[in-house]
Amino acid sequence: MLFDVYINGRLAGTFGHEHSENLSVSVAGTVEGNYLFAGVVCRENGKLFHQSWDQLELGQTDEVRIVASDRNAPTQPAKKFEMGRTDRKAWEANVCEFCQRNETQVPKFIPGDAHRPGICSDCVELCNAIIAGKT
């Protein structure tokens, strides 16, 4: 299941997966602005994954149109996680914005989004030490 999303008549992205189990495209508004989000739950090699794309900023008067796609592949997702807490596997594309190590190279990783940077547990500990005046 793939869907093309157009903003003001221009293709903004193709979202989904050939083995989608659940696809979500939503619009959210805050005092800071309006945004479009896309995410999909899909199955690959018998495992469930969640993929998401970077949010797209929308203007107050932007027109959004979502239509079934005839394309063969979606826009590359920004993040991908294997689902299931005990089975969750790290993904190399999730990078700590502070030390630039990826999720597979750090003890724990807190993923970010367009408004918050991703950060690893080592950098959180360093920040805490700086705040406490120990560094």
82 and 99 within one domain: no
135 and 95 within one domain: yes
Q: How confident is the model at residue 68 (pLDDT cuts 50, 70, 90)?
A: very high
56 and 9 within one domain: yes
Contact 28, 93 (CB under 8 A): no
35 and 78 within one domain: yes
Query: What is the residue range of 101's domain?
Result: 90-135
Q: What is the pLDDT of residues 8-61, one digit of tens each?
A: 999 999 999 988 888 999 988 878 789 999 999 999 888 888 999 988 999 888
Taking the alpha carbons of 111, 60, 69, 23 in that order, is the dihedral positive or negative? positive
Q: How confident is the model at residue 95 (pLDDT cuts 50, 70, 90)?
A: confident
Q: How confident is the model at residue 89 (pLDDT cuts 50, 70, 90)?
A: low
Taking the alpha carbons of 57, 113, 52, 71 in that order, is the dihedral positive or negative? positive
Q: How confident is the model at residue 90 (pLDDT cuts 50, 70, 90)?
A: low
The reported pLDDT for the residue numbered 126 is 92
Q: How many domains does the chain have?
A: 2
Give yes or no for residue 84 having a pLDDT over 80. Answer: no
106 and 126 within one domain: yes
